[in-house]
Each structure stands twice: as C-alpha cells, then as structure tokens.
A and B are shown apart, each in its own frame.
Chain A
C-alpha cells in the first residue's frame, strides 16, 4: 500500500496574527510554523497503518523553501519520502491544481489530508483535488479502518456521526478523533538523524488558474470592556442578558 499525506504548514496556534503595513499580506516575521494540527492526526494515522501493513508513506507540500523544516519533521516522525512543490500558493484552487498535477502519474491508495488548514480555514484543497482527479473523498473523518478491500470510515455530521463503507483509492479530510490525542507522534533524536538522509524532492510548479484574490486583511473589531457583575447580585446579570443583550 502507498499512502500520501497532503501537508499544510501553518502558524503555531499561539501566534499573534499581524499583517504587513499596507494590510495586504500576512506578516510572517517572528512566526513559528508547524504541521497543521488536523494533518498531524492524519500523519499519526498514516504511521499506524504503515507499521501494521508495511505501507510506504510519502508527504507532499505546496509551499516555499522556508517550510522545509516542517516537512523534515514529518520525515523525522517516520514518513519515507517528501516532495515540495516550489511555489507560494496563490489560493486554494491553485494549490489543489498543483497537487492534482502531482498525482497524475502516481498510484497512491490512500491520500490523507486535514479537514482544513487553521490559517486560512479554507477547508477545500483536498476536496478540489478529489474533483480534479476523480479519486473518492470523505471529509471530517474521525475514524478509519482498512481491512483488505473494505474501508470503513467514520465522519462527523451535525449532532453526531455517520459510518460509511467504501474502497481504495480514497482521499480523506481528517480531524481530531482519527487517532487518540495521546498517540500523536513527536520526532525523537533517532528520527531526526534519519530524516536528514531521507529524500526531499523539490518539484517545479505548473501554471495554474487562480480564482480568488486576497485584497486586504483587518483585525476583528475590539470588544468593549467586560461588564463585571457581583456574584451576589445575579439579578443584575439576568437583567443585562434579558434587556441589554436580549439573549434570554
């Protein structure tokens, strides 16, 4: 079996988000980049399948050279080989198009993505890849079990979950639940040493259509200061919720 992880590289979850002076671009200064948390669940799941079945695990990322340290981290955790498509993505469609081109002469059985990148929160690159390649797709996946030809997938729905039966090849958009939190892998010294010798191939980008344009960014409006209510005067709180906020 061959598995491919679609890797999105995002600012660390504690990052303060700022933009360049003209508010047109995300300011990367001082930002620590990490594996997209939803992809991290997928990476661990892929490692578990690899250890059980001897599958080969590749990673692909569309992004600039500065993201290679994060790609190396996936190799240190245990992926066998990585590809970087050398371009700063222009929008989600553009990234999906690069990935679909990459997949043209490949034969992966399982393609694991995250349900969304936590930076732009698009939630669409992997789904568009499915549309462009015709490979089946399940999103918001919280459980995956592969027994021979039979693939059972659990996905989150509004207010519950759904179990699906399908087959390979398959693309999944993974999220929390795919593996347990405590199973998440972090690189160890041996892994980091080995990762240095693993192949990281840089591929040129292809011309691809761009459908959207980020014109500018702004910070959400600041909240007014909190109204504190004394714990012995909860009638006031109820009055505020009823008459001011009008929520009860």
Chain B
C-alpha cells in the first residue's frame, strides 16, 4: 500500500498547498508505516517535495497534460495509484482538486471526505475531523471503504518538514485523446502580479463601511505592504465596487489565512462563515457594537479613514526598523 497525493503548482512551481498535503500525507504514512508518492504534472521543482516527506514524485511531462483537464487528470491519478498500490489519495481543496476528485470517488466507489482538518486519530477505524455547516461545526467522519480519498482544508494542517531521500520518475499515463477533446480549454485569464486570494497568508478585506470603490486605494496599499491579497463582503461585490472573485463568505470564497483584516465589515453570520477559520482576525470598525468584534482576536474601534492610513504609516516604520 501507499499514499498518493496530487501535487499542484502555481506558475510552474510546486505550491504551498501541495507542500501542506505532503506534510499531511507523510504524517499519515508514518502512522501506517508506508510511503508517499506525489503526482505532478510537469512542475519544475518536484524535488522540493522531498523536504516534506514525499518518497517519490511521478512527474508527467507529456504535453497533452500541460493544462488541467479534470477527467484526464483523474485517470492519470488512478493509474498512478494502481501502479503504486496506492489506496489513500490526498488532494487539496483548490478548484481543480474539487472538480477532479469526485470523478475518482465515483470510479473507485470509495469514501471521499472534503474539508478535512485532522489526521485520523486511529488508523484502524479511520475517523477524521472535517469542517461542516460552513465552519459552524466540526464533524467526525469515518471512512468505511478500503480505498479512501481525503481533501484537506487549506491551512488546517500547516507545513511540517520531514526530509527524506526521494526520487523523481517520469510517468506516462495512458489517456484516450477523446477525453481531451470532450472538454477543451480555450482561454485562461489570471490576474497577474497580485497575490491570489486562496493562497494568501494575509488577506485585507473591505466592506460597505468604505463607502465607495474610490476608497479602496488604502486597502490595496495596506495589502501591498503586507504582501496580502484583497477581499470584500458580498454587498461590495454585488454593487460592483470590487470584482466578484473577491467576495468571501458562505456564498463566496471560503478562506483560512493566517491573518484576516476586516475593514468596515459588520460581521454578518454569512460573512463569518467564509472567514472564521482564519488563524487570526483583526477588525477595524467605527461601531463598537459591530458583531465582528465577537469573532475577532484583535480589534480597533475607529473610523477606517483615520485608522487605516495611520496603520500604513506605522507599518512602513516597522518594516524599516526590522
């Protein structure tokens, strides 16, 4: 037996969530006394996974696989599992993973659990914790089939180094051309230069309290200074002040950065559902009664138009001194 992970990349490099998966899979492998094999589709730096306990990287270099295709990737992963007697598959919670993995669960007729936040306490009965009810609860779920698939919630396990001596092998999955023909990618649009929201360690988010789109300059400046991504509440996106891709919450993106800074956001239950897994929350709001303060770790009661520029000044000074 072995554990297979799907190692995703950003801009050609193995990304952070792949390293988090590797950390998780490697910890699980130690409990099960087995090894971890990662499947990567042409990453430039597959060796970087050895640091996190991956024993073998199966690297697919065939051009056909250069852009993501859910069904083709699913088949490739199933073949990798077969070759390596892989009976546990660990994937991230990226859009690509969540698209591809149910196809494998259906084909394998196996247990598949998403939003996983813990290792199984006991590998005999294999019960893991997962987030449910949009972060309002934690469920303990038992996987009852031989083959098991886990999708790990972002930032829930963290990076844990466990260097091993690994190898990179060329891997050539056999996938019918018709699979690539069925659904074809014709255009990819990515916001360049900016930190993508889902990968960000820090997120600076603005709400209706900012009064209008013209006031986002200071939010962006604060984000730039912190190397952060920007986000917003639902009404802000609905009014077209910010793009929809920035909307976080129960009906938007669910994020779990190390620090979430909420400026002029009241903290409605639907908003919290998307952000309350953040490790730390800082709320800046003019109203001391704003519900968000109840969910926050740090708070500043004050006018955003006064507090944010001051905070920017202080941060610049802090950066210069450190």
Query: Contact at B106–A118, with CB atoms within 8 Å?
Result: no
B279 touches which of A123, A231, A242, A247 (Cβ 8 Å): A247
Cβ A212 vs Cβ B114 within 8 A: no
14 contacts between A and B (CB under 8 A): A13-B250, A119-B132, A126-B102, A127-B102, A138-B99, A157-B188, A163-B188, A215-B127, A228-B293, A229-B299, A231-B301, A234-B300, A242-B322, A247-B201
Interface size of B by CB at 8 A reads 92
Q: Is the Cβ of B98 less than 8 Å from the Cβ of A123?
A: yes
B contact face: mostly helix, strand, loop, or mixed: mixed
Report chain A residues within 8 Å CB of B202. 247-248
A-contact bits for B236-276, CB 8 A (1 contact / 0 none): 00100000110100111000001100000000011001001
Given contacts A93-B105, A136-B182, A217-B138, 5 further A-B contacts (CB under 8 A): A37-B251, A128-B106, A138-B99, A245-B298, A248-B318
The one of B127, B251, B307, B310 in contact with A176, judged by C-beta atoms closer than 8 angstroms, is: B251
Query: By the criterion CB–CB under 8 Å, are A155 and B95 in contact?
Result: yes
Report how far A115 CA is from B310 CA in the complex, Å.
Answer: 41
Q: Closest CB-CB distance, A30 to chain B, in whole Å?
A: 15
A140 within 8 A of B: yes
A196-248 contacts to B, CB under 8 A, are 209-220, 223-224, 226-231, 234-235, 237-238, 240-242, 245, 247-248
Cα separation A157 to B196 with both chains bound (whole Å): 10
- A interface, by DSSP: helix, strand, loop or mixed? mixed
Residues in B neighbouring A122, C-beta threshold 8 A:
114
- Residue of A37, A159, A162 near B191 (CB, 8 A) is A159
With a cutoff of 8 Å between Cβ atoms, the chain B residues found around residue A28 in the complex are none
Complex contact A139–B105 (CB within 8 A): no
Q: Which residue of A lies closest to B252 (CB)?
A: A176
When the two chains form their complex, are residues A160 and B191 in contact, meaning their CB atoms are under 8 A apart? yes
A240 pairs with B298, CB closer than 8 A: yes
Residues 129-152 of chain B, each 1 if its beta carbon lies under 8 Å from chain A, else 0:
001111111111111110000000
Q: Which 9 A-B pairs have the closest CB atoms?
A: A131-B106, A127-B102, A159-B196, A231-B302, A160-B190, A211-B111, A139-B99, A163-B187, A247-B259
In the complex, whether B115 has a CB less than 8 A from a CB of chain A is yes
The answer to whether A124 and B95 touch across the interface, beta carbons within 8 angstroms, is no
**Interface residue? B314 (CB, 8 A):** yes
**Residues 268 to 314 of chain B near chain A (Cβ within 8 Å):** 269-270, 273, 276, 279-280, 282-283, 293-302, 306-307, 310-311, 314
Contacts of B99 in A (CB 8 A): 127, 137-140, 155, 173
Residues of B contacting A194 in the complex (Cβ-Cβ under 8 angstroms)? none
Contact B185 A158 (CB under 8 A): no
Q: Is the pair B196, A237 in contact by a Cβ cutoff of 8 Å?
A: no
Task: Tell yes or no: B101 within 8 A of A by CB.
Answer: yes
Chain B: minimal CB distance from A183 (Å): 12
B12 to chain A, nearest CB (A): 14
Find out whether the CB atom of A17 lies under 8 angstroms from the CB atom of B197: no
Residues from 137 to 182 in B contacting A, C-beta threshold 8 Å: 137-145, 182
Q: Please report the C-alpha to C-alpha distance between residue A167 and residue B182 in the assembled complex, in whole angstroms.
A: 7
Query: How far is the CB of B304 from the nearest CB of chain A, in Å?
Result: 10
Task: Tell me, yes or no, whether B210 is within 8 Å of chain A by CB.
Answer: no
Is A181 engaged at the interface, CB distance under 8 Å to the other chain? Answer: yes
Tell me if B112 and A124 are in contact (CB < 8 A).
yes
**Which parts of B74-125 form the interface with A (CB within 8 Å)?**
94-96, 98-99, 101-107, 109-115
Q: Are A226 and B294 in contact (CB under 8 A)?
A: yes
Docked pose: A13 CA to B270 CA in angstroms: 6
Interface residues of A in 6-60 (CB under 8 A from B): 11, 13-14, 17, 19, 26, 37-38
Per the bound structure, the CA–CA distance linking A216 and B141 in Å amounts to 7
- The residue from A176, A211, A223 contacting B112, defined by CB atoms under 8 A apart: A211
Residues of A46-83 at the interface with B, using a CB-CB cut-off of 8 Å, are none
| B113: chain A residues within 8 A (beta carbon) | 212
Residue of A nearest to B187 (CB): A163
Closest-by-CB residue of A relative to B286 is A231
CA distance A156 to B258 in the complex (A): 23
Contact indicator B269/A14 (Cβ below 8 Å): yes
Tell me whether B133 and A17 are in contact (CB under 8 A): yes
Query: For B141, what are the chain A residues with a Cβ–Cβ distance below 8 Å?
Result: 212-215
- A96 at interface by CB-CB < 8 Å: yes
Measured CA separation A146–B103 after assembly (Å): 24
Q: Does B70 contact A (CB under 8 A)?
A: yes
